Amino acid sequence: MYRRTSSSTAAQSELRGDTVFSSGTFGFPPLDAHVVEFQAPADGVPGRLSWTAKQDGKPEERLDVLHAWLVEDLPGGRVRVLTQETQIGPPAEELAQQVPNPMLNGHQAWLDGLVRAASGRLGA
């Protein structure tokens, strides 16, 4: 989930270039995030979106995040979504050691939610 905090180019519910928003996932407190790459999809060109976020504080609390998405139209009305995230810092190191891995499971749930939303089954 996210909420937009400021932007010169984005509507309330859209992420676009230079959007600043707040996002909290995987048990981390909401972090201010900044969209650093946005390319709308075009004929034969995948859409691209990436954002960064940072948590300051004591050394054991610091966290740097980069999350990138690639959205590509495929034949037959299909869409491919590729996502990659990197997190650097002690909180991320602790999270990576958990079994089952909440980040892997959380990203899969996020992608499953995108499928439900795209197919009109958001409440399902």
- pLDDT band for position 72 (50/70/90)? very high
Q: What total of structural domains would you count in the chain?
A: 1
CA 1 to chain centre: 9
Predicted confidence at residue 111, as pLDDT, reads 86
CATH number of the domain residue 64 falls in: 3.30.530.20
8 Å CB contact between 55 and 28:
yes
Average pLDDT of the residues of the chain: 83
Look at residue 98 and tell me if it is in a domain. yes
Confidence class of residue 30 from pLDDT cuts 50, 70 and 90? confident
Handedness of CA 89, 95, 16, 74 (dihedral sign): positive
Q: Write the burial class of residue 114 (CB in 10 Å: 0-12 exposed, 13-18 middle, 19+ buried).
A: middle
Taking the alpha carbons of 103, 30, 115, 52 in that order, is the dihedral positive or negative? negative
Whole-structure pTM value: 0.76
Cα–Cα dist 10/33, whole Å = 14
What local confidence, expressed as pLDDT, does residue 11 receive?
41
pLDDT attached to residue 2: 41
Q: Is residue 124 part of a domain?
A: no
Alpha-carbon distance 107 to 113, whole Å?
A: 10
